[in-house]
Structure 1
Amino acid sequence: MYCFNMENKMNKSVKAGDLLISEPFLQDENFVRSVVLICENNENGSFGLVLNKLSILKLNELIDNINPLECEVYVGGPVEQNTLHFIYSGDCLFDTSIQLREDLWWGGDFDEFLELLKLGKIEESKIRFFIGYSGWASGQLEDELEENTWIVCDTADAESVFRASPEELWRIILKNMGGEFQQLANYPIDPRLN
């Protein structure tokens, strides 16, 4: 039977740069085995990007005149899938970028970013593009945390986020958290198979 108590094992408060890891048996098709990077969390609600849900689209299919850029695009979440967002690792490139972690940045001047990318001044392995985002109304994410829908990770570094394959990221983050979380990483999607 699926049962684990994480009351004292997870940080219930969430801040920008934290990762939300879905609990092993979450059945919401938008968030099954997902890892969500929180970009903003305040009294108005929360904004995040699913890091491990690859779309079928490439960047040059979404934006005109950027050939030959065929960067992968991820599904950031079910909200406003007509929007495009990006994160990058390394040094800050724009005054308008928001720092999420020591070496992880969200957004910035998109046109300038594309120009740097076209000129080869940004490594494709250090960027991620997203269509849509994940959003929570005020208090909604806190309720989901109380229900143990999410495990909060505040220790993952940007390198592991960008290096891991989308299929393995959920499992890798849990394993790296150690203890009970290592066990959760091996749970089957269907609890009847446990």
Structure 2
Amino acid sequence: MDSRIFLILLYSMKDNLDIFRIQTNNVEPKKGRILIAEPFLPGNYFSRSVILLVAYSNKGAVGFILNKKVDLALRDVLPGFPEFNTDIYLGGPVATDSIYFIHKLGDKLPGSIHVLGNLYWGGDFDVLKQQISGGLIHPSDIRFFVGYSGWDSGQLERELKEDSWLVTDIEEETVMRDLHQESWVDFVKKAGNRYTVWENFPENPAMN
């Protein structure tokens, strides 16, 4: 049987096949862990996305998509911002008219929220601009996002029950690497052999 036909058949039966059920969701979501989208999760934002959770509680969750770079410069979205050669990523569908950031600056940036290891979220934006203007921040120390991903109370838990996301840990060094859409496969590989079948599926089997 042609491999493409086989994949389409599997896709059509995915709701009844055990290979598409996420068994490791006994790993609870929490700040500093990532969400890996299941192969068929639709939408321009979340399809093949890897999301770092920067906040999680019974009130909801906040995260940033790590692997969807956009072709923008900081000055495109922040006129008058100091010259700074860095990439911008699509953080999620919420507040896409705003810029957010994670960084490794720690206490050097007042108001930062600790996420994982030496990773922090947010902080005093005026101080950040001053430090960038003074050449005190290297592009590898910070990552900017347009928008963020957010879940109301109970929403993420419902999506986990529907096997929309695989929850797993991540090393802080990986968060700041040059990630892209295809990096989703690398994260799936690290999740274990059970998910090997995910790697071989096209984003839309019906189109192949």
CA drift of 1:6 comes to 4.2
**Aligned partners of 2:85 and 2:78: how far apart in 1?**
10
**Aligned partners of 1:31 and 1:7: how far apart in 2?**
17
2:144 equivalent to 1:125? no
1:60/1:70 contact within 8 Å kept: no
**Which runs of 5 or more residues in structure 2 are unaligned?**
1-9
Q: Secondary structure at the match of 2:176?
A: helix
Q: Secondary structure at the match of 2:41?
A: coil
2:114/2:120 contact within 8 Å kept: yes
Structure with greater proportional strand content: 1
Structure with greater proportional helix content: 2
Q: TM-score scaled to structure 2, two decimals? A: 0.83
CA drift of 1:97 comes to 1.1
Q: 1:145 aligns with which of 149, 156, 160?
A: 160
CA RMSD of aligned residues (A): 2.1
Q: Secondary structure at the match of 2:127?
A: helix
**Aligned partners of 1:53 and 1:166: how far apart in 2?**
5
Give the AA of the match of 2:30.
Answer: K
Q: Sequence identity, in percent?
A: 37
**Aligned partners of 1:170 and 1:89: how far apart in 2?**
23
CA drift of 1:12 comes to 4.8
Q: 2:48 aligns with which of 33, 56, 59?
A: 33
Give the AA of the match of 2:176.
Answer: F
Structure 1 residues 83 and 66: alpha-carbon distance in aligned structure 2, compared to 1, 3 A threshold:
closer
Equivalent residues, number? 193
**Aligned partners of 2:189 and 2:147: how far apart in 1?**
28
1:88/1:105 contact within 8 Å kept: yes
**Which runs of 5 or more residues in structure 1 are unaligned?**
none
Q: 2:192 aligns with which of 164, 178, 185?
A: 178
2:66/2:179 contact within 8 Å kept: no
Please say which structure displays the higher CA radius of gyration.
2
Give the AA of the match of 1:163.
Answer: R
CA drift of 1:9 comes to 2.1
Q: Deviations over 1:141-173 (max 9, x none)?
A: 00000000001012x112122224313321122
**Aligned partners of 2:31 and 2:136: how far apart in 1?**
27
Q: Deviations over 1:91-144 (max 9, x none)?
A: 543342111111211111111112222322222023111111111111010000
Structure 1 residues 176 and 75: alpha-carbon distance in aligned structure 2, compared to 1, 3 A threshold:
same
Structure 1 counterpart of 2:176: 162
Of 86-95 and 54-63, the range deviating more from structure 2: 86-95
CA drift of 1:193 comes to 7.8
1:58/1:73 contact within 8 Å kept: yes
**Aligned partners of 2:22 and 2:179: how far apart in 1?**
30
**Aligned partners of 1:166 and 1:117: how far apart in 2?**
25
